[in-house]
Amino acid sequence: MKSINLSNLFTIMWLALSLTFNSCSSDDDRVFAPPAVEEPDESVASIEYYLTTSDEANLVELQETGVQSLQDNNSFTINIDESETYQTMDGFGYTLTGGSALHLNNMSASARNTTLNDIFGSESLHSSYLRISIGASDLDQAPFSYNDLPPGQTDINLDNFSIAPDQTNLIPVLKEIIAINPDVKIMGSPWSAPVWMKDNGETVGGSLQPQYYGVYADYFVKYIEAMQSEGITIDAITIQNEPENPFNNPSMAMTAEEQADFIANHLGPAFTAAGITTKIVIFDHNPDNISYPISVLNNATANQYIDGSAFHLYAGQINSLGAVHNAHPDKNIYFTEQWIGAPGDFAADFKWHIRELIIGATRNWSKTVLEWNLAADENLQPRTNGGCTQCLGALTISGNDVTKNPAYYIVKQASSFVKQGSVRVRSNTNTSLPNVAFKTPDGEVVVIVLNDTDQEQVFNINVESNPITTRLPAEGVGTYVWRNN
């Protein structure tokens, strides 16, 4: 057994307290009395109600019934307090893998335009955030970096650096997306450094050798500048996808101490020297080990360069994101990846992702919710040797034919209504009706509610402009929008 020094013991005790007092206020589970029933005011906001049901009979469908002016009852009331605000949302979306871009780029121009407008256009799903891989992910045809060399060679000046591998599919598709939604934000994440910088010389596993920390920092700078020259702004980067998973292909291990050193003494100064304003985001892994991002943020030199921490949820609890926020409330939280395993189970997948991510991640300060990944084909291709074999895309693309899978509707339930720049506002919750509320830049109120039971639920939503009584079928999800008149 390893000995625990006093500093580590204090950290463990602090994390336990933070998880006990998580990011949601202590009275989030209070039971509120229904608001007083008043005569309706014809000048108040109109309300739209968009429903998804577990049997797929309704898929983010506008309802003509199911909402009425507040009724006199003893049902649970969700109280919305627009004066108490939390994080500003960057948006909801997907990872545009190299494989996703390949399938989209192989479509006819008209079919691709229709598909991209459906995902990114303002009149449909309206995704406003994308994650892309810096170099290959495991859902590319093969591993690659932007500086691949024959075995035994090095290139410390990065003379052979080139983003040419992305010129065929990824960059053309990104340009079309940006033309549809110029405000889309893009995050880049590397799965591995070039193998000649690693201690094992392989695409799988290994670690970045310390003598190449400065070179790898310059690699990031060159990448951001090269993408900018194509008209593609990289809003944020993470240092390493899943730094505690050295088994994927490609992958690279990186400890918290190594990440702090790399940022503090190499990447941060390199960005400053080059005038790079791209946000530096750490971790990009599961919240079962939040001591990792907290310890990186505790490094005062690294801290000054860091915008926030990114998370997946293949292990741990979503409330742990709130504990990271509580430890460093001046730093942002991002949720950047969650897969759905093929062939998918719509009812179970939709409910879990809405509860844990659309509601859970945002209630715990996340500015983004991103699903993995945007598109695959009917054979779940492409993938590297050792890459994910069961990753179901939000879309299945076969030629020009497109099938929409659970992740499409999971994101749509939020992104069609919660615009970029929306602010989360206070709402109380309970285990039967988990929910989250936002106020959009246009002043509209959006409330997303899951009926996490096997029976229909009748409840109230108390928005000051127009309180309502509504009902949700068992395992149904409703998005309620208070439109301005």
- What pLDDT is recorded for position 33? 53
Superfamily of domain 90-420: Glycosidases (3.20.20.80)
What is the per-residue pLDDT for 484?
A: 85
- Alpha-helix runs per DSSP H in 252-369: 256-262, 268-274, 291-298, 300-303, 320-327, 346-353, 360-363
pLDDT of residue 103: 98
| Nearest residue to 218 via CA among 197, 187, 201 | 197
- pTM recorded for the entire structure: 0.92
Task: Note the pLDDT of residue 24.
Answer: 47
Query: Within 13 Å and on the Cβ side, how many CA atoms surround 61?
Result: 12
Task: Round to whole Å and give the CA distance between 128 and 356.
Answer: 20
Residue labelled with tokens 């950047």? 336
Angle formed by the axes of helices 170-180 and 98-105, to 10°?
Answer: 80
Alpha carbon distance 450, 93 (integer Å): 20
What is the rounded CA–CA span in Å between residue 363 and residue 269? 34
- Per residue in 360-413, pLDDT (tens digit) is 999 999 999 999 999 999 999 999 999 999 999 999 999 999 999 999 999 999
CA 347 to chain centre: 21
Rounded Cα distance between 476 and 453, Å, is: 9
* Catalytic residue ranges: 242, 337
Cβ–Cβ < 8 Å for 479, 66: no
pLDDT value of position 36: 55
Q: Which residues pair with 311 in a beta bridge?
A: 285, 335
Q: Residues of the chain whose pLDDT is less than 70?
A: 1-45
| Domain 31-87+425-483, CATH | 2.60.40.1180
Predicted confidence at residue 35, as pLDDT, reads 57
Domains of the chain, by residue range, sit at 31-87+425-483, 90-420
pLDDT at 108: 98
